[in-house]
Amino acid sequence: MKNILVLSVLILSLSACKNEKKESTVTETIVADVLTEATPAYPETMRAIFEAHGGTDAWKKMQTLRFDIPKENDTEKHTVALQDRRSLIETDRWSIGYDGSEVWLLEQEADVYKGNARFYHNLMFYFYAMPFVLADDGIQYESVPATQLDGMNYEGVKISYNDGVGDAPKDEYMVYFDAETHQMKWLGYTVTFGKTEKSDNWRFIKYAEWATQNGLVLPKALTWYQVEDGKPTTPRNTINFENIFISESQPDAALFKKPEGAVVSE
């Protein structure tokens, strides 16, 4: 009888251990699933590119971005509220702003601004804030074969957008990067603003010079290239960025409000 009792206790102990182990395994699986859902679903390659430029965690803490673009007869002063992408471009002759719902244009003289304000209001910001703008929602990523650009081989990622994302969801991008450092070197892009179909007319920008600002590696100069047979050939023009400022401090909300006399750009 004593032997039977000992055997029963042993069986109960083993069963309890087995149940305890099973419950622990289930708990670990649930925690792992929660962590997976909370983590942005960037492909490993894109995650490495972001990290090479300071990381998305640091980028998403930033509230204000400012930079100047010197032009032949004027200087564009760009300010962007990074969390909601309200923006302001100021020159001596005209200003363009986005207040969160409308793009507005204010001209000091009639017809002094030559262009489409809605198209331009965030264009240079988008090129400047590479690669971090490619961490936005509604983006699809696709690895592409290594490509030779200007005599060098680069790995690449193709970016496209879900329907209804932004003013030009048919736009596509190619990010080409150094395979060892994962730093971005080239951007290929198409322009489909105002169109309903994708384009196969690729344009190319070389990210010629970088600077570290508040822990983030951001462009200091961009060079557009001539294109032949879908590949960049010779430099066409370079845009320099000056007085770069990026901060966790919020910008003044009044900057982006449509001023008296401004017109809404369709």
**180-217 per-position pLDDT tens digit:** 999 999 999 998 766 667 778 899 999 989 999 999 99
For residue 120, give both structure tokens.
């331009």
How many Å apart are CA 175 and CA 69, to the nearest integer?
Answer: 23
Please compute the mean of the pLDDT values over residues 232-250 and round it to a whole number.
Answer: 96
Can you give the pTM of this predicted structure? 0.81
For residue 102, give both structure tokens.
């409308």
**131-172 per-position pLDDT tens digit:** 999 999 889 999 999 999 998 999 999 999 886 565 666 789
Q: Which residues 6+ apart lie within 8 Å of 94 measured at CB? A: 105, 106, 107, 108, 112, 113
Q: Is the dihedral of CA 98, 104, 106, 112 positive or negative?
A: positive
Which phi-psi region, left, alpha or beta, contains residue 234 (left: φ > 0; alpha: ψ -120 to 50)?
beta
**31-86 per-position pLDDT tens digit:** 223 333 344 578 999 999 999 999 999 999 999 999 999 998 899 999 999 999 99
| 226 residue type, one letter | Q
Please state, as a whole number, how many other Cβ atoms lie within 10 Å of the Cβ of residue 77: 17
Residue 2 has pLDDT above 80, yes or no: no
Residue 138, pLDDT score: 85
| 134 residue type, one letter | L
Contact 226, 232 (CB under 8 A): yes
Q: Is 136 helix (H, G, I), strand (E, B) or coil?
A: coil
Residue 166, pLDDT score: 58
How many Å apart are CA 180 and CA 36, to the nearest integer?
Answer: 27
Residue 4, pLDDT score: 40
Residue 244, pLDDT score: 96
3-state helix, strand, coil split of the chain in percent (to 5) is 25, 40, 35
Please compute the mean of the pLDDT values over residues 255-262 and round it to a whole number.
Answer: 96
Residue 33, pLDDT score: 30
Residue 12, pLDDT score: 38
Instruction: DSSP for 19-35, please give it.
Output: HHHHHHHHHHHHHHHHH
Omega cis (within 30) before 131? yes
Residue 191, pLDDT score: 83
Of 87-91, 94-98, 142-146, give the lowest mean pLDDT range.
142-146
Instruction: DSSP for 73-89, please give it.
Output: S-EEEEEEETTTTEEEE
